[in-house]
Amino acid sequence: MRLPRVDRRLELVADCSSCFGLCCVALAFERSADFPVDKRPGEPCVNLATDFTCGIHASLRDEGFRGSAVYDCFGAGQRVAQHTFGGTSWREAPDISVAMFAALPVMRQLHEMLWYLAEALTHPAAERLRPDLESAYAATEALARTDAGALAALDLPPHRAVVDPLLQRTSELVRSEHCGPERRGADLIGAKLATSDLRGANLRGALLIAADLRDADLRAADLIGADLRDADLGGADLTGSLFLTQTQVNSARGDVRTKIPDVLVRPEHWAG
C-alpha cells in the first residue's frame, strides 16, 4: 500500500514571528500604487515595531501598503534569521545586518524554486521525473544551507536552468490529461474570461491583471509567473492548479466560493 505523499511546501510557509522583520528592512520600495512612501534597502519600514511586528498589519491595504500585504517570502525570512544567522537579530548585532539583508533575496529565490519542486513531487503524472526532481530539490536545499558569504556569491541562473525544464516537463505531463488552451505569456489584461473552461491551460507568465475570471475552471492550469493582480477570482476553481503561490493569491480578488489549493491561505481581504 502506497503511503500518501508529504507536501514539502508546508515547510516553506512564511513565519513572520521568526524572521526579525527582515522583509520590512532589507527590501526597498518606491512611492506608487502599492506603497505610499519611498524606502531604501536596509532602512526599516516606518510601520516596523520594536518587537519586529507590523504596527498596521490589519490595515495595510487601507493605509496604502498593498505591496506589503501581497508579499510572501516562501519562508526565506525565518531560514535566514534562524539558520543562516543562528537566531541573532540585526538589532542585536548591527555588524551582521548588511550580510543578513543581502542573504534574504537570494534565499527567497532558492525557496521559490524549492516551492515549485516540492509541488512537482506531489503530482503522480510526473512520477517518471521523480529521480530528477528529487536531485534538483536536494541540490537547491544544499545551496540554501550554505553560509551568508556563499549565499551572496551564488550564481543562480545556471541552477535555475536545471530546475526550469523540470518544472516545464512536469507541467506538460500534468496538463496532457486535458486539452487546455496555450496562452503562455499572453496579454490578457482585463480579459473577459468569466465561466471559461481553462482546465490544463498554459498560462505561464500571462498578464491577467484585472481579468474577469469569475467562476472560471482553472484546475490543472499552469500559473507559474502569471500576473493575477486585481484579477477577479470570485467562484473560480483553482484546486489542482499548477505552481500557484501565496503572492499571486494575495494580489487577486476572490470570495467565499473561490477554491484554492489547501497549502495556500485564503487572504483576509477576500469578500466574506
Q: Which domains does the chain have, with CATH numbers?
A: 8-27+71-175 (no CATH), 180-272 (2.160.20.80)
Contacts of 211 (CB under 8 A, 6+ apart): 188, 189, 190, 191, 192, 193, 228, 231, 232
Residue 111: exposure state from Cβ atoms within 10 A (0-12, 13-18, ≥19): buried
Q: Please tell me the distance from the alpha carbon of residue 43 to that of residue 66, in angstroms, as a whole number.
A: 19
**Predicted local confidence at residue 3, as pLDDT:** 44
Rounded to whole angstroms, what are the CA distances from 77 to 109, 160, 165? 11, 21, 27
Q: Please tell me the distance from the alpha carbon of residue 21 to that of residue 64, in angstroms, as a whole number.
A: 19
CB 215 within 8 A of CB 196: no
**Predicted local confidence at residue 46, as pLDDT:** 92
User: In three state form, how does the secondary structure of the chain look?
Assistant: CCCCCCCHHHHHCCCHHHCCCCHHHHCCECCCCCCCCCECCCCCCCCECCCCCECCHHHCCCCCCHHHHHCCCCCHHHHHHHHHCCCCCCCCCHHHHHHHHHHHHHHHHHHHHHHHHHHHCCCHHHHHHHHHHHHHHHHHHHHHCCCHHHHHCCCHHHHHHHHHHHHHHHHHHHHCCCCCCECCCCECCCCECCCCECCCCECCCCECCCCECCCCECCCCECCCCECCCCECCCCECCCCECCCHHHHHHCECCCCCECCCCCCCCCCCCC
Whether this prediction's pTM lies above 0.85 is answered by yes
CB 230 within 8 A of CB 253: yes
pLDDT by residue, tens only, the chain of 272 residues: 344 567 899 999 999 889 999 999 999 999 998 899 999 999 999 999 999 999 888 888 888 999 898 999 999 999 999 999 999 999 999 999 999 999 999 999 999 999 999 999 999 999 999 999 999 999 999 999 999 999 999 999 999 999 999 999 999 999 998 989 999 999 999 999 999 999 999 999 999 999 999 999 999 999 999 999 999 999 999 999 999 999 999 999 999 999 999 999 999 889 75
β-strand partners of 232: 212, 253
**Predicted local confidence at residue 101, as pLDDT:** 95
**Predicted local confidence at residue 4, as pLDDT:** 52
